[in-house]
Chains A and B, each alone.
Chain A
Amino acid sequence: MKKLILILTAILLSVFALLTSLSLNDGYTAQRELWRINQKLYYIASYNESTPDNAINQLTDRYHDFINKHSKTLYANQAQLMLGDLYSLRKNYSQARSEFQKAICENKELSAQGEFAIAKTYELEGNQEKALSIYKSIIQYYPLTKTGFFVHIYLARHNATGISQK
């Protein structure tokens, strides 16, 4: 019986090792890593006021490490967006815009999200005109992305509260 258990365990472990080695560079590990860093960000977002600066710095470093490690993948651009969000959370809008800008790439959806986030920072700073021009540019350049569709609804909702399509 021991022999049988050993053989079957060896088969299971070999299959696991084989599938792990075959899927090493498929981006799944990056997805998992990014998700874990993002969880920290969500936690900080919930307790933004009470989070000390060193915790923010640590998270920033983790994002930077991730971006460097996966620099040629879309996950790096996604991480760039999240890093921008982190700066936005701390009201460092100029730094946030710089990070969002780096997320703009060949992927239209991610680029639209980056542009949208930039517009949002202007809106939060009170620069409604600049924000509106960016929102309009998203509709123009990324009309078929999820964000492109969403901007229409977003602007319609905000008609009464400041930003309006003139």
Chain B
Amino acid sequence: MACFFGAYVKIVDMPKVKSTFTLLRLVFNLFKPEHQQIFYPYIIIVFINLLVLETLYFAPRHPLSSFFYPLIGRIWGAEYLHYPMDLMLLPKLFYYTQVIIFLFVSSFLTAIIADMVAAINNEKQVNFGASFQKSLPRYIYIFLYSLLSLLLLESFDYAYGLLIQRVHQIHSTTGIYFCLKKLVFFAHPYAQFLYENIATALLIYVPVLVILEKKKFIGALIDNFKTICGSFWLTLTLVLVPTLGYLPLLLMKNNIGNLVEMTSPEVQVVALILNIFVTTGINIFIMASASAYYLYKKENL
């Protein structure tokens, strides 16, 4: 019988947070030099993102400007083609390309991690090429999963936007309604952080089921909710704990205006580079955790 990372860990009561940390520690130990190919998806995703960022950074300059000038000029205005406004636009441009990268590349490469975790669990050698080939026929289902998670995220964003619109109508300058208004505005990036985690947790087992159980999209979606039933809080913790590493970057992002003023507009680029390294790492770690938890649950329950 397959064992869990070569060691039987007795976690009597799974939904307890204490168990989640044990699991996270085990997953953390997966990323060791012995399993160096488990880092390949991370390296490739980071590389693609950096290459795209590099291209966008040079967008207002010759020779790329001949393609980007009409595009940026028409959509955002000619001032965004010059220093330093081009750097102010860069995060937005990069966000749009990141969405495309996520849909077509990142989500699939991240999902491959599930197969690698399963290989380690079965005491097999981790092989990125083999996992890639094995997972390739499931590409379309992973694409659908990433599309759905994006839509879910957008709908959360839309709902919060509606809340902000409603709160705008509050005219009080004191009292509880005023506090509520302030809270909704102030908490926006943190609320976004929280609902992004909830959205991730709600669908996290879909790619795991698609890759490991060879499920089709709808089947994986149904089984995903079955897996989440009874362990939602544990799953949310699995997602939330690694994502806490993003908080310093979130803080940086919220104060980017001040940082730019104190240093130089190039800080925007530094922030984006850090963002690539951190978020890719977090996403991969979450996927590994979800896969590990799924395998553990399957073997122990």
Q: Which residues of A contact B (CB under 8 A)?
A: 1, 4-5, 8, 11-12, 15-16, 19, 22-23, 26, 28, 31-32, 35-36
Contact = CB atoms under 8 A, between A and B. Distances in A.
A15 B55 CA distance: 9
Given A12-B51, A31-B82, A32-B83, A4 B63 contact: no
Given A5-B43, A12-B51, A23 B83 contact: no
A12 B83 contact: no
Contact of A11 (B51, B60, B63, B83): B51
B36 interface: yes
Interface string B41-85: 001000100110011001011111100000000000000001110
A3 to B, nearest CB: 11
A157 to B, nearest CB: 25
The 7 closest A-B pairs by CB, nearest first: A23-B61, A26-B62, A31-B83, A19-B58, A1-B36, A8-B47, A32-B83
A8 B61 CA distance: 23
A26 B51 CA distance: 22
A16 B55 CA distance: 9
B227 interface: no
A26 B62 CA distance: 6
B30 to A, nearest CB: 15
Nearest to A20: B58
A17 to B, nearest CB: 11
Contacts of A22: 62-63
Contacts of A4: 40, 43
B131 interface: no
B83 A35 contact: yes
A19 B60 CA distance: 11
A23 B43 contact: no
Contacts of A23: 58, 61-63
Contact of A1 (B43, B51, B61): B43
A105 B84 CA distance: 25
Contact of A26 (B37, B50, B65, B84): B65
Contacts of A19: 54, 58, 61, 64
A122 B294 CA distance: 79
B246 interface: no
B39 interface: yes
Nearest to A5: B43
Contacts of A8: 43, 47
Contacts of A31: 82-83
B36 A28 contact: no
Nearest to B61: A23
Nearest to A26: B62
